[in-house]
Amino acid sequence: MQLLPPTRSCFVCGTENPIGLKLALHAVAGAVETRFRFRADCCGFRDTIHGGMIGTVLDELMVWAAGDATKQFAYCAEMTVRYLRPTRAGVDVLARARLVENKRGRLFLAAAELHDAEGNVLAEATGKYLPLPGELRASVLADFVEPPPGF
């Protein structure tokens, strides 16, 4: 299990984002994952995590799954999320993503799931990711606390 370097500003992993989730992401056997609990301030309906928050976490994991596998930064071009069960605040969850396909370095297909402690799938997502244009690389790298290995 390898800890992936956080950025300073990211809402999901950023160390200096005052309202962020500050999640620690790990590369594990061809996937990227994180274990955490959503805070109560992430709720939409009472005691139920807002779908946008779930989608945000799954997007972050898919970006990292594509990046860790290809050593290229990418951004989301399209994402589909299926919400299967309500996700509650303060409950242990596991988010995991993997690269499904690398289409010649031009498009990355990824998939992610959010599980509860019993292994039930709470939400699942698929996404299409485009490599970040080269002119943005320096500014993206500058936001990392330490450089991502191999990028």
Using alpha carbons, list the distances in angstroms from residue 111 to 16, 44, 45, 75: 28, 24, 26, 14
The residue among 141, 145, 75 whose CA lies nearest residue 110 is 75
Flag whether 134 is in a domain: yes
pTM: 0.96
The CA distance from 110 to 102, in Å, is 9
Flag whether 11 is in a domain: no
Flag whether 10 is in a domain: no
Task: Tell me the average pLDDT across 48-58.
Answer: 98
Flag whether 29 is in a domain: no
Question: Count of domains in the chain?
Answer: 1
Flag whether 147 is in a domain: no
pLDDT at 29: 92
Flag whether 53 is in a domain: yes
Flag whether 21 is in a domain: no
pLDDT in tens, 10-27: 999 999 999 999 999 999
**151 pLDDT more than 90:** no
**70: domain range?**
38-142
The residue among 128, 113, 129 whose CA lies nearest residue 33 is 113
CATH of the domain at 77: 3.10.129.10
Average pLDDT of the residues of the chain: 96
Flag whether 63 is in a domain: yes
